């Protein structure tokens, strides 16, 4: 079960010499070679093994000697940044993205890249003309989500110890939910985006919001570790005991009703939390209309793409006023409530190419994305897990992480796929 342990545990063993980074990395490559999930699609073996050998005779940072993979859309020196587009197949980066620099400075060994949907253009699947389709390790007939589907699938299959992805319209949280791992959308601006871009000279995005980059992992604690080394010190969590948390809850909505399977998993989780002493407050925050919020988020995504082309859509000023008012409403809500719980997505992993109510996958995602709140997806439920979305106050990412970490003891956490 070594390959399903947390990065935090593995790093501790590597630092004290209980594990060899070289042997671990060699074994990880063997797992990647034998896997039929198609999650890790490019590797740099000589680099990784040399780095692992050095790690075995030195001491390092909090991720010392831990082999990992990263979403293909990040620049990694000496590797192609393809975005799944054949025109970029030979676009080898000459420098690392900021995220890669910081992960490696913390001791991580970026050994390979995980698959993405073509041009990152789909949040529900991961498939492209270069590397083909990634499948869900829990059921290969189902999608892992996208566009960070390779990242989530790699973790669930035990092919990486920690991952880094991107989330514009749920591309971290949706795959995390479908594959049964943890995935965090940090507060916007926490982690630099430089080097997360199509191939070419590094440039700054014309408009960053609502695009963010963040970690995926098999535990909430690993999310904290990865975020702290890439985004800097975190504001301390509000609570340290599960029973001290005051939690808002909405588990369903007529605008995007959850499936029976997801509804049962969410209800059971909240019941378990209440029995553990968590104070539950039901209902949407005052001043928050989830349908309006979802529609407005769609506008923000369109604005993001328009900005990259040098355009500003009509009504932008009014949209920003609405977004500011929404931020005020959520800030007032979080004065009395610590975190807000809702579905990550209304269903478990669907079959490949099942387009029913496809666009509705972002309804629940939008509730944190539009106001710019940190949000993570935590796994709950059975063989096909559901995603419990934990939304925290702005710039209090560790409050959401800590709640998910403590809640895992009550509602369950990552479980390796059967077989």
Of 187, 208, 231, which marks where a domain is finished? 231
Query: SS3 helix, strand, coil % of the chain, rounded to 5?
Result: 40, 15, 45
- In the set 114, 171, 211, 377, the catalytic residue is 171
| Phi-psi map region of 9: left, alpha, beta (phi>0 left; psi -120 to 50 alpha) | alpha
SS3 call for 262: helix
pLDDT in tens, 320-379: 999 999 999 999 999 999 999 999 999 999 999 865 556 688 999 999 999 999 999 999
Domain count, the chain: 2
What is the percentage of the chain residues whose pLDDT exceeds 90?
A: 90
pLDDT bin (cut points 50, 70, 90) of residue 309 is: confident
Higher pLDDT, 205 or 377: 377
Asked, as a colleague might, if the bond just before 113 is cis with ω within 30 of 0, I would say no
pLDDT in the model for residue 356: 52
Phi then psi dihedrals of residue 152, to 5 deg: -65, -40
Q: Which of 332, 326, 358 is nearest to 345 (CA)?
A: 358
Q: Which two tokens stand for residue 230?
A: 């890439």
- What are the helix (H) ranges across 309-396? 316-333, 363-369
Give mean pLDDT, residues 399-403.
98
Return the DSSP state at 394: T
Looking at the structure, tell me whether residues 289 and 174 fall in a common domain. Answer: no
Q: Are residues 264 and 347 in the same domain?
A: yes
Identify whether 415 is part of a domain: no
Please give the average per-residue pLDDT across 13-26, as a whole number.
97
| CATH number of the domain that residue 331 is part of | 3.90.1300.10
Assess whether 246 and 227 both reside in one domain: no
Quote the pLDDT of residue 355. 57
SS3 sequence of 139-156: ECCECCCCCCHHHHHHHH
Domain's final residue, options 231, 265, 300: 231
Instruction: Give pLDDT, residue 312.
Output: 85
pLDDT: which is higher, 47 or 356: 47
**Is residue 77 domain-resident?**
yes
Strands 246-249, 40-43: parallel, antiparallel or unpaired by DSSP? unpaired
Q: Once rounded to an integer, what is the mean pLDDT over residues 369-395?
A: 96
- Catalytic (active site) residue 219: no
**Same domain (yes/no): 206, 341:** no
pLDDT, mean of residues 262-283: 98
| 62, 106 contact by CB (below 8 A) | yes
126 with 263, same domain: the answer is: no
Pairing of strands 67-71, 109-114: parallel
pLDDT at residue 418, rounded to an integer: 87
147 is catalytic: yes
How high is the mean pLDDT of the chain?
Answer: 95
Measure CA of the first residue to CA of the last residue in the chain; give whole Å. 12
Which is more confidently placed, 203 or 399?
A: 399
Exposure of 308 by Cβ count < 10 A (0-12 exposed, 13-18 middle, 19+ buried)? middle
pLDDT for position 313: 84
Same domain assignment for residues 158 and 258: no
Closest CA to 181 of 212, 226, 243: 226
What's the CA gap between 301 and 286, in Å, rounded? Answer: 25
Can you tell me the distance from the alpha carbon of 191 to that of 204, in angstroms, rounded to the nearest whole number?
13
Q: Could you tell me which residues come within 8 angstroms of residue 230 by beta carbon, excluding any fewer than 6 positions away?
A: 98, 99, 102, 103, 164, 191, 215
Residues 82 and 126 reside in one and the same domain:
yes
d(CA 223, CA 201) in angstroms, rounded, equals 29
**Same domain as 272, residue 130:** no
User: What mean pLDDT is predicted for residues 55-75?
Assistant: 96
- Let me know whether 288 and 365 are in one domain: yes
Q: Strand order in 40-43's β-sheet?
A: 40-43, 109-114, 67-71
110 & 186 share domain: yes
In the residue annotation, 171 being an active-site residue is answered as: yes
The one catalytic residue in 21, 113, 114, 147 is 147
| pLDDT more than 70, % of the chain | 98
Range of the domain at 177: 2-231
- The pLDDT of 385-410, averaged and rounded, is 98
Task: Give this prediction's pTM.
Answer: 0.97
Q: Which residue out of 21, 71, 211, 228 is catalytically annotated? A: 71
Of the candidates 204, 231, 258, which is a domain's last residue? 231
The answer to whether residue 302 is domain-embedded is yes
pLDDT number for residue 277: 98
Lookup result for tokens 């075995």:
56
* Contact call for residues 48 and 59 (beta carbons, < 8 A): no
CA angle 11, 14, 18 (to 5 degrees): 130
CA-CA distances (angstroms) from residue 312 to 300, 324, 325?
11, 18, 21
Rounded average pLDDT over 196-202: 91
| Chain segment 108-155, per-residue pLDDT in tens | 999 999 999 999 999 999 999 999 999 999 999 999 999 999 999 999
Q: Tell me the mean pLDDT in the region 26-55.
A: 98
């Amino acid at each position: 079960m070594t390959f399903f342990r947390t990065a935090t545990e593995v790093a501790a063993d590597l630092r004290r010499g209980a594990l060899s980074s070289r042997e671990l990395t060699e074994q990880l490559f063997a797992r990647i070679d034998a896997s039929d999930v198609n999650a890790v699609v490019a590797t740099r073996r000589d680099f990784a093994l040399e780095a692992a050998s050095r790690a075995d005779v030195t001491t390092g940072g909090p991720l010392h000697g831990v082999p990992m993979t990263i979403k293909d859309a990040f620049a990694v020196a000496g590797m192609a940044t393809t975005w799944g587009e054949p025109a970029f197949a030979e676009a080898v980066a000459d420098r690392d993205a900021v995220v890669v620099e910081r992960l490696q400075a913390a001791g991580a060994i970026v050994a390979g890249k995980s698959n993405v949907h073509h041009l990152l253009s789909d949040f529900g699947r991961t498939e492209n003309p270069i590397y083909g389709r990634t499948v869900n390790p829990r059921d290969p007939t189902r999608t892992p989500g996208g566009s960070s589907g390779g990242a989530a699938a790699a973790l669930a299959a035990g092919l990486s110890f920690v991952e880094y992805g991107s989330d514009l319209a749920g591309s971290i949280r949706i795959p995390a939910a479908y594959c049964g791992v943890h995935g965090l959308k940090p507060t916007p601006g926490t982690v630099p985006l430089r080097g997360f871009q199509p191939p070419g000279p590094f440039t700054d995005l014309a408009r960053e919001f609502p695009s963010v980059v963040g970690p995926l992992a098999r535990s909430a604690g690993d999310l904290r570790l990865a975020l702290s080394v890439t985004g800097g010190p975190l504001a301390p969590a509000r609570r340290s005991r599960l029973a001290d948390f005051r939690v808002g809850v909405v588990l369903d909505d007529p605008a995007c009703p959850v499936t029976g399977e997801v509804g049962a998993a969410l209800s059971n989780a909240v019941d378990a939390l209440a029995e553990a002493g968590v104070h539950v407050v039901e209902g949407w925050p005052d001043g928050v209309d989830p349908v309006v919020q979802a529609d407005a988020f769609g506008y923000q995504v369109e604005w993001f793409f328009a900005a990259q082309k040098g355009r500003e859509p009509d009504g932008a000023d009014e949209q920003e006023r609405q977004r500011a008012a929404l931020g005020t409403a959520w800030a007032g809500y979080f004065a009395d409530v610590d975190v807000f719980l809702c579905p990550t997505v209304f269903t478990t992993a669907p079959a490949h190419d099942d387009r029913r109510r496809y666009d509705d996958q972002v309804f629940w995602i939008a509730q944190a994305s539009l106001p710019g709140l940190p949000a993570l997806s935590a796994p709950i439920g059975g063989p096909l897990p559901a995603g419990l979305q934990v939304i925290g106050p702005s710039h209090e990412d560790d409050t959401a992480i800590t709640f998910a970490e403590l809640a895992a003891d009550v509602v369950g956490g990552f479980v390796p796929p059967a077989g």
